[in-house]
Amino acid sequence: MKIAPSILSADMLNLGADVQKVEDAGAEYLHIDIMDGNFVPNLSFGANVVKTLRSQSKMVFDVHLMVNNPENWVEDFIKAGADIVGVHYEATPHIHRALDLIKKNNAKAEVVINPGTPVSAIESVLSIVDQVLVMTVDPGFGGQKFIPETLEKIRQLHQIKEERNLNFDIEVDGGINEETVKLCREAGATVAVAGSYVFNSGNETHAERINKLRN
């Protein structure tokens, strides 16, 4: 399983150093949450932050757009250095257009679904995506408790992937720790986002926490 530390839980005053720590610890992805204060209540970063971090890191930048009308934001974040761009099914009436725009700009396309959105809502675009992100908490806030009902959606996606011979990763985001990641992996998840579990690691190192998630 690939591990994607979320910088929402990093030390914003020492963001570059924290990103370097998780890269040195073996994380494959860096999960970057972009929030517009509209689709979700909080505000986070702009494309300029992604551009700055890009010059400092070789990790895969997994940019999660928690914004309304994400098609208006896609190109700026790809130019800034995003490798994967995730757009919410719930955030646009034009989900196919948004995903197609990501692909046309030479990044990997990810469709994201909230806990209350069924897998059936995105079945028509699964053949064009590189990754599906299943939100295992409600989006917009860190430190929430994992929603166990989301495991069934992971199983459904894994079954569709196998039956149709599709080739997308299944990512999970929210309440991920060494217990919940095992449940997600058993259900079929291949990428795990973890924020506070990695960055607020207590007496353990970032590498120890990442290895616990991976194994």
Catalytic residues: 33, 173
Q: Residue 39 corresponds to which tokens in the numbers above?
A: 């689709």
Decide: 1 and 185 in contact? Cβ < 8 Å. yes
CB atoms within 10 A of CB 41: 11
- Helices marked H in the chain — which ranges? 15-24, 47-54, 74-80, 95-104, 151-164, 180-187, 196-199, 206-214
Task: Tell me the DSSP string of 146-200.
Answer: P-GGGHHHHHHHHHHHHHHT---EEEEESS--TTHHHHHHHHT--EEEESHHHHT
The rounded distance, in Å, linking the Cα atoms of 5 and 22 is 7
Q: Residue 124 corresponds to which tokens in the numbers above?
A: 């028509």
